[in-house]
Amino acid sequence: MALTFDQKQAVVAEVAEVAAKAYSAVAAEYRGMTVEQLTALRVKARKEGVYLRVVKNTLARIAVRGTEFECMADGMVGPLVLAFSMEDPGAAARLMRDAAKENDKLKVKLVALSGQLIAASEIDRVANLPTRDQAISMLMSVMQAPVAKFVRTLNEVPGKLVRTVAAIRDQKQAA
């Protein structure tokens, strides 16, 4: 069933709003996938904080116009499912990479991050980006390192004194 003009405007507005807030986007060709497989992918996407939508390419091009995903517009050809990362930059890439491993009919075509189009073969680069919690953890460990080293250095002074006194005691006991 064809969409009315009002329905098309609503789809474009919804996708444009999501694209304006998203961190990264992935477009994959889903030709040959069953409805059950796409439904399972949607469920998994919802759990991982990824907006997943099948949109006509013309409407998708209009929706991404003026966003940092405008670089994807020229590559939108064929039946595509769009995935936008809403919580962390690598979520959509991880979802699509894992889904493509499970289903050989899903082929990643476009990957965009921070206004740059990345080759689909390099999806692992985006998928391996740390989550927010992992990034905070890495930052905290880097910030903690100098303090921990300072504490170990301060602790070494009395430790060396204790070892010296123990060595003198052992030497006197041996004599």
Q: How far apart are CA 46 and CA 113, in angstroms?
A: 20
DSSP state of 27: E
Structure tokens at 124: 């692992």
Minimal CA–CA distance to 156: which of 167, 144, 164? 164
Q: What is the pLDDT of residue 98?
A: 92
Minimal CA–CA distance to 113: which of 31, 17, 19? 19
Which runs of consecutive H residues, i.e. helices, occur in the chain? 5-21, 35-47, 57-64, 91-102, 123-127, 132-174
Q: What is the pLDDT of residue 174?
A: 85
Q: Could you report the per-residue pLDDT of 78-122, keeping only the tens digit for each?
A: 899 999 998 888 999 999 999 999 988 999 999 998 888 988 888
Beta bridge partners of residue 117, listed in sequence order: 112
Structure tokens at 70: 């405008």
pTM: 0.75
Q: Could you report the per-residue pLDDT of 125-174, keeping only the tens digit for each?
A: 888 888 888 888 888 888 888 888 888 888 888 888 888 988 899 998 98
Q: How far apart are CA 142 and CA 136, in angstroms?
A: 10
Query: Please, how many CA atoms are within 13 Å of residue 100, restricted to the half-sphere of its CB?
Result: 21
- CB of 8 within 8 A of CB of 63? no
